[in-house]
Chain A
Amino acid sequence: MIEISSLSKVYAEATVVDEVSMVVAGGSITAIVGTSGSGKSTLLRMINRLVEPTRGRVVINGRDAATVPGHLLRREIGYAIQGHGLFPHRTVAENIATVPRLLGWQAARTRARVEELLRIFQLEPAEYGAKFPHQLSGGQQQRVGVARALAAEPRVLLMDEPFGALDPIIRGQAQDDLRDIQRRFGTTVVLVTHDIDEAFRLGDHVGVMSRGRLLQYDRPAMLLTHPADPFVSRLTGTADRALKLLSLTTAAQAMEPGAAAGDGPAVAATDSLRDVLAQLLWSGAAAATVRRPDGSAAGQVTLAGILARGRSD
């Protein structure tokens, strides 16, 4: 858990972060979204004290961050950034081992952890461990960057536009991987992005920042249905917010008893209602059958049910 209270950063000419207070729940993903210059990166960098706050407090898992020397604090917190920042003169394995080495881990433990992470990120240790970063593709470099941030099993992971340099297809894959890994390790993730879709896709909570202020901090659905500020509704987009809302709900959540008529498409419980709606429009059916992984029918999602959920209350 990260408790941020009245955190401000003032440079001589400008207030970059202005009295931000928020509580990031342990084991969740919080996405902070805003335009460039909104202060979101500075807010993130004040959590691990790459930027020293002018005022305010950051408490991480019950300990005031200001009471620990900055570099020791940062060794406990994962850090992944846009453009991966891998060290070009070190191999993939050496890059991932950076923080374990700083913490003085035994060589065997470090090696085991590096191999475990490479496997989790679908990079065969024997093949990729000894490669240099420039020998990898962009997507692989980004995965190594995240693996490196997770190497010392941090309870908190900070990410600054981690997927910003990836093309759309690899980007989607990387986002899915992040979700899986975050669930697997129960890591508390704070992620900064300028992409509202990415924030909605990944964030359990989404914070919207503009001109140094945190305008709204809530569940994604609440940002769509109850925007606290005109800027929030502009950012989330008014034209397609019904579709955005549907994309935040899974078929399981809208499931009704029964099975669809013979011409209805089959969907999975984890599919978003937006995808289900698209299938219904394409097939012309009024209901879709939700099938379990073994193929048996679990229930149905009807067009009327979807429409009811896409409407503002």
Chain B
Amino acid sequence: MVQALHARRRIDRLGALLGVVAMVAATTLPFVVFKANRIASGEPRSLLAALPSAPLLLASVALLAVAAAFVRQARARLAAAVVGVLTVALALAWAADALTPAGNRLVRISPGAGCWLLLLAFALIATDALARLRPGPLARVGALALMAAAMWAAFAAGLFDQLSIMREYAVNASGFGRELRQHVLLALGSVGAATLVGLPLGITCHRVPRVRGAILQVLNLVQTIPSIALFGILMVPLGALATAVPLAADLGINGIGPAPAAVALFLYALLPVVANTVVGLGRVSPVAVDAARGMGLTSWQVLGEIELALALPVIITGIRIVLVQNIGLVTIAALIGGGGLGTYVFQGVGQTAIDLVLLGAIPTVALAFSAAVLLDALVDLTGRAAP
């Protein structure tokens, strides 16, 4: 009985479950979807049907699944998961190559449910292992850079060129860089402006309790307006401004386009920045502030060296929240001509071309993920000394 308990504890339950999921995904679900052309209906292809080397791949997936269930050491689990993700990605590229007849530019190959599920299972094993390893902020940024470099190398080498999503990219290659830049610019610009305005507002709320309720309530109200409605509401005054003041129109301020998008994103970003500034400043020990004043720091020095320095991790957490939120929200700005990666999402929806949707969605997710990792690292670095 005792031995049986021991034996049971040697199995990692999450790893075992994810291993089973990976095996089921690899053996029973379609690995890729084959379309004769862009608008033809898709035919699912299993891993065995798609790849000549499938048995070898199935064996390695099985091996990795077993490793996930039985290897307890976090580093080894992480390595197994990374190998798993790479294996699936390579298998996808090879399957696309194998299924595309030479010289045929019409055939479309997309990842199937099995492929997505395999990637998800290995990604979850990797996440679990990383959570156990608790890497420091710099190690996490390093890992992110490594991932980005691997992705860039894969694209530069044309590894995925036969995949449908890359076909969509090839068609849109001339505009992709511009939309990506516009997307990043709208997200960073709105968050930057919200930080410049929100920080002083938050400090005012902290110093003058009488205005705190009013400011936070107004910002709360803004936050409750649905994003599409807010874009619509802003069209009216900005359009009127453009008609009344020609200079505004010359500067690119208009009822539609990036201007209302930037304003709406800025308004959405304001509440978290202000609220986190207020909370962060409120958590600073009043005794430390009294001591600082008592030792002769000027009120600006008290604010900069003590209050803001101590509130910084909380304030950056607020900026992290809005940056991730706005990277996602910018997608909707495409609806009113704001540009950004949302352009592809809505074009894809209109053409029922799921791969075009993914061309907009996957870089958006990657951007948001990177922003979260980078700012989380910054939060850890600034909050290092706090108890």
A301 at interface, CB cutoff 8 A:
no
A86 and B296: CB pair below 8 A?
no
A90 and B385: CB pair below 8 A?
yes
Chain B residues within 8 Å of A75, by CB: 295-296
A81 and B309: CB pair below 8 A?
no
B288 and A87: CB pair below 8 A?
yes
B387 and A74: CB pair below 8 A?
no
Chain B residues within 8 Å of A71, by CB: 296-298
Residues of B in contact with A, size category:
10 to 19
A102 and B288: CB pair below 8 A?
no
Residues of A in contact with B, size category:
20 to 34
B315 to chain A, nearest CB (A): 14
Query: Contacting B306 at CB < 8 Å: which of A79, A87, A99?
Result: A87
In the complex, what distance in Å separates the CA atom of A84 from the CA atom of B296?
Answer: 16
Query: Contacting A83 at CB < 8 Å: which of B287, B297, B306?
Result: B287
B292 at interface, CB cutoff 8 A:
yes
In the complex, what distance in Å separates the CA atom of A164 from the CA atom of B310?
Answer: 25
**Quick one: given A82-B287, A83-B287, A132-B385, are A89 and B310 in contact (CB under 8 Å)?**
yes
B296 and A73: CB pair below 8 A?
yes
A98 at interface, CB cutoff 8 A:
yes
**Quick one: given A86-B288, A89-B310, are A81 and B294 in contact (CB under 8 Å)?**
yes
**Quick one: given A88-B386, A88-B387, are A98 and B295 in contact (CB under 8 Å)?**
yes
In the complex, what distance in Å separates the CA atom of A48 from the CA atom of B290?
Answer: 12
B386 and A50: CB pair below 8 A?
no
A89 and B386: CB pair below 8 A?
yes
B369-385 contact mask (Cβ, 8 Å, vs A): 1 or 0 = 00000000000000001
B285 at interface, CB cutoff 8 A:
yes
Q: Which of A50-108 contact B (CB under 8 A)?
A: 50, 71-76, 79, 81-91, 98-99, 102
A143 at interface, CB cutoff 8 A:
no
B148 at interface, CB cutoff 8 A:
no
A74 and B287: CB pair below 8 A?
no
B316 to chain A, nearest CB (A): 14
Chain B residues within 8 Å of A85, by CB: 285, 287-288, 290-292, 294
In the complex, what distance in Å separates the CA atom of A83 from the CA atom of B290?
Answer: 11
Chain A minimum-CB-distance residue to B288: A85
Chain A residues within 8 Å of B296, by CB: 71-76, 99, 102
In the complex, what distance in Å separates the CA atom of A134 from the CA atom of B287?
Answer: 15
Chain B residues within 8 Å of A158, by CB: 294
In the complex, what distance in Å separates the CA atom of A148 from the CA atom of B297?
Answer: 14
Q: Which of B268-294 contact A (CB under 8 A)?
A: 285, 287-288, 290-294
Q: Which one of A85, A91, A102 has the highest number of Cβ atoms from chain B below 10 Å of its Cβ? A: A85
Measured CB to CB, the residues of B under 8 A from A are 285, 287-288, 290-298, 301, 306, 309-310, 385-387
Q: List 9 A-B contacts (CB under 8 A).
A: A73-B296, A74-B294, A79-B294, A81-B291, A85-B292, A86-B291, A88-B310, A102-B297, A134-B387
